[in-house]
Amino acid sequence: MAYLDGKTHADYYKVSGNYGNYQFVSLEDIINQFMVVYVGDEKLISKASRVDVAFWAQRNLAELSFDTFKSIKAQQIDVPPSLSMILPHDYVNYTQLSWVDGSGVKHPLYSTNDTSNPFQITQNEDLSYSFPSFDQLVYNNNFSQGLLQWATSADFVSNYGSNPLYTGSKVTTVNSELNFRHSSHQYAGGLAGVSQAAWQAINVEGLESVNLSAKATTLAASQQTWTVLGNNQWLADNGGGGLIGGVNGILAIVEGQEITVPSPATTIRVGISSTPGDINGQYYSAAQEANGYSSSLNFGTDIFDIAYIEWTAGDTSLFKQLEDINVSEYDEVYLLITSNAPWTTHSQGQQNESLLVINKVDDISVINSSASTSLKIVDQESSTFKNYKSSTSATNVHDDYEDDTYWPNEGERYGLDPAMAQVNGSFYIDNRLGKINFSSNISGKTVILDYVSDSLGTEGEMQVHKFAEDAMYKSIFHDIMSTKRNVGRGQVMLYKKDKFAAVRKAKLRLSNLKPEDLTRVLRGKSKQIKH
């Protein structure tokens, strides 16, 4: 029954990495123990499904995370020129926002209700509302701003990625042009490639149809000759279902040797889809799929469930378009671009940069071919927010702590709103876009966001501090009994009191108040405390 039997000190201090984890119990253990102790014949709950217990356990874990458990979530960023910070993926609410000076000291930022980033409606010259047709729906459609507003599949580097000459397969922009770089890879017991993708969500609410056009460049199958740059290299080939030379189909090669390998024909697809691209781009051979590996959705055409255009095997800078694509059933669709290069040959370490292929896409366009029936936004950043960003000085004030003077505006305090009489800066949360927007004096500074989550994001987060373990049991018990028809209201109120008392006790325990801390604070007041 002992928790630490069979575990040595070395297991904890040298191996585990889960330092301090003994103070927590997993939610799974909470559920298991509740089912054993509370549910069954002659128990407080005669019958309850594990699904019900798990549901109430998760609900109470979330509730305790909001106002009982300590807030340990935090993110730090350097504020970009946009003066915006994306809300964390598991964000529920913030506890504090601060900027950090050169000495590592936090300076709290204060929220403001005096501005916002509203939905700015597009208007005609006479200021009437505009419902335009043939309007560009793609942001950064010519990639002049890099990959801004574009999501992409993950970069892929094989197990030889430590080689400084090896850069793997990735999506990038070069000279305002979208580039899909395809290197050969070896994984999952064979040779394979990476099917890459880039996509952007498009608002089509109120639209009947759209026109799609783009320009793309693909490569025909060819031969590439390259020179080996180092010894102890090897070459493998899956072309035609067989391997070439060497032991187990691996051909040893040496420095200075020239190698000629087949370069694959490539394919580009640009289309409209109801789902985004697949962030994982690996695709596999038939033999690998037979062993249980599944290729990326980017590899095939099924992901384009609405419409698509295709370039393949040497189509060079060709402009193609599709007109009157029906999107009337959707409020939001995805402009999706996929790129494929089915390599059959791979060299260790990718010793020469020439052993790769690059597909290119440019001049993407999606326009509404009929007049919109919904209001159109001018820009994600309204003029109100743009003015807020630029109205104050962007000078960063850093306190060097060389003296006791901090207030930089000596003699200028009169007439200020006390709630805003501070120099640290301000922020507000744009819930429409899921961002935190900062005042201009925060530009370039390091900002820390301390926030609250619901502890349900991952399995590792679903744990309860042992100080609150009893509160979890009492809370689950009350919630289950309160949903049963045959339990009297008087009994439910009694269970509610037990739950309230247990949660209150957990809050007191987790508050972590120490007599020494209280004494230290009181000694800083006007009256001395004897000790």
Nearest Cα to 359, choosing from 218, 170, 193? 218
| Residue 432: partners with Cβ closer than 8 Å, 6 or more residues away | 117, 119
Separation of CA 335 from chain center: 20
Task: Give the H/E segment covering residue 497.
Answer: helix 489-510
Q: Quote the CA–CA distance of 352 and 357 in Å, as a whole number.
A: 12
**Which residue do the tokens 């109205």 mark?**
391
pLDDT digits (tens, 9 = 90+) for 285-308: 676 777 777 888 998 899 999 999
Q: Quote the CA–CA distance of 3 and 22 in Å, as a whole number.
A: 9
| Residue 46: partners with Cβ closer than 8 Å, 6 or more residues away | 39, 40
**Which residue do the tokens 């007191």 mark?**
508
| 3-class DSSP string for 95-136 | EEEEEECCCCCEEECEECCCCCCCCCECECCCCCECCCCCCE
pLDDT digits (tens, 9 = 90+) for 192-242: 678 899 999 998 888 889 999 999 999 998 887 766 655 545 555 544 333
| Cross-strand bridge partners of residue 181 | 170, 358
| Residue 288: partners with Cβ closer than 8 Å, 6 or more residues away | 188, 189, 190, 192
Q: Domain coordinates of the chain in residue numbers? A: 9-69+455-523, 73-118+380-396+419-452, 151-368
**Treating both helix axes as pointing N-terminal to C-terminal, what angle do 50-67 and 489-510 enclose, rounded to 10 degrees?**
50
- Look at residue 207 in the predicted model and tell me its pLDDT: 86
**pLDDT beneath 50: ranges in the chain:** 159-165, 232, 238-250, 349-354, 393-398, 401
Q: Quote the CA–CA distance of 193 and 189 in Å, as a whole number.
A: 13
- Look at residue 187 in the predicted model and tell me its pLDDT: 63
pLDDT digits (tens, 9 = 90+) for 106-160: 999 988 888 888 888 878 888 888 777 778 889 899 999 999 889 999 888 754 4
Separation of CA 178 from chain center: 22
- Look at residue 471 in the predicted model and tell me its pLDDT: 95
CB atoms within 10 A of CB 131: 16
* pTM score of the predicted model: 0.62
User: What long-range pairs does 289-296 form, CB within 8 A, spacing at least 24?
Assistant: 291/188, 291/189, 293/188, 295/195, 296/153, 296/194, 296/195
The dihedral of CA 153, 158, 162, 168: what is its sign? negative
Q: Quote the CA–CA distance of 105 and 235 in Å, as a whole number.
A: 54
